[in-house]
Amino acid sequence: MKTTFTILLLLQSFMVNLQAGSISGNVSYSGNSTGTIIVAAFTSYSFQTDPTSVVTLDGPGEYRLNDLADGKYYILSLLAKDLNFIKATDPFGFYGLSEKPDSILVQNNDVKNINFVLYDCTVENPNPFAQEWKEPDLRISLPNSTMNGRDPSLAYDGTYLYLCKHDSINSSGEKIYKINPETGNVAETIFLNLESSLNRICWIDQLIFMNGQFWIKGGFGTLPQVGTPGIFKADLYSGTSSPQMVFPDSVYRSVKMTTDGENIFLSMDSSGTTKIVKFNPNSTLTIPSIPFINLDNRVRQMTYGDGYLWVGIDKINKFDPTTGDFLGSIDLPGFAAEIYFDNKFWCYNEESNSILVYNANVTGLEEVVFPTTLTLSQNYPNPFNPITTIRYTIPKNLEKTHVILKIFDILGREVQNLVSEKQSGGEYEVLFNANGLPSGIYLYRLYAGDFTETKKLILLK
């Protein structure tokens, strides 16, 4: 049985915290839109970091965000019919009395009566999490028998598409529809009984097909507890799971996964960053923590095809699956990169109960131009209050090198360490949040191999 929330879209992942604090209140909405409401707690008012805690509601009403460590939080909420396709007009709101969210202080206590209202957004004032919509090249309508259910995911075995849907919250039923991609007809329906018992499938978040077998991102039964989140090989007809790899407890919930036939690529959110790890599940017993690719934004969808890794964020980004190099992007919405074959991207649209098909259109690929010199740019804006962006470039021909970016005050005392990791050639940008620092002149310094450069920035409050 599924016992954890599957949060789709950008808010899918959250860190698990064992502290006792909580925030609760009421979400109001008086408009005509219907769908699922998400309420999330962030540690940054820009909402660019990972949410610390997330809950979903079937409609307006009371919410409670648990397991919050001591600190300041900002509460965001949105309502959508289909969480994979947030529209510009979908309702949105946050806790605050002005245009800027108000912070909520948690100190090992329960903060109550944090009430706020969702408002209908418009094209002129869109939902900030909206994904730009593009009309598909082909829309394949599915039979009405596939309409019901929640938490959909799509897989492909080389011949058929598999649409997986959970019957309802806390239901023990899962249906997997085997679909002809040319006609949309259902060739077979697999009825899966979810069980919170040893070596059984407890829930399914995502399904992929690799070397003649299905692999699941979801929950499996193990000892000493059942309902353990991880990745495992599964027999859909018998409902059994083996072998099993557990998500690391201290860091992440997985967002999306795909395979090149030998390796699994898994995107994970952790401490405000998104990374993609790569591993061969037949040669390791654990999910690695070392990133194969570092990203600045959450992954909406991810797939593999034609020898490339396709990562859907705002656009569909193309990566070399061997080196992890970014190769360019296609001007198609990130949600389309659920499945790739026949030079097309395929994705399931829950609202219309149809398969959307987008031509890959490789002639429209925006190839990345790698820099030829290592440079540190002036921050923007400057002066700033309290957030500014620092950009730098690393040449393609430079071997992966350890990069450090630090902030100092005018007396040379270190204020903050923004970057300390190995990076490949490319363009990078880092946000510096000076909240809590006094106005004045600061220095930012980039170290990369033998390269060192320092520039000034001005914090003006």
Query: What is the model's pLDDT at position 271?
Result: 54
DSSP line for 362-426: GGG-EE----SS-EEPPPBSSSBSSEEEEEEEE-TTSPPEEEEEEEEETTS-EEEEEEEEEE-SE
Give how far Cα 340 sits from Cα of 186, 356, 412, Å.
20, 12, 51
Residue 431: closest CA among 460, 405, 413, 452: 405
CB 24 within 8 A of CB 66: no
What band does 53 get if pLDDT is binned at 50, 70 and 90? confident
pLDDT tens string 175-203: 999 999 999 999 999 999 888 788 888 88
pLDDT tens string 328-387: 888 898 999 999 999 999 999 988 899 999 998 754 566 555 566 788 989 988 888 888
Phi and psi torsions of 9, nearest 5°: 70, -150
132 DSSP 8-state letter: P
Residue 453 clears pLDDT 80, i.e. is over it: yes
For CA atoms 259, 260, 264, 269, the dihedral sign is negative
Q: Model pTM?
A: 0.65
CA 49 to chain centre: 11
Residue 399 clears pLDDT 90, i.e. is over it: no
What stretch of H or E contains 79? strand 71-80
**CA-CA distance, 108 to 102, in Å (whole number)?**
19
Domains of the chain are 9-117 (2.60.40.10), 138-367 (2.120.10.30), 375-459 (2.60.40.10)
The mean of the pLDDT values for the chain is: 84
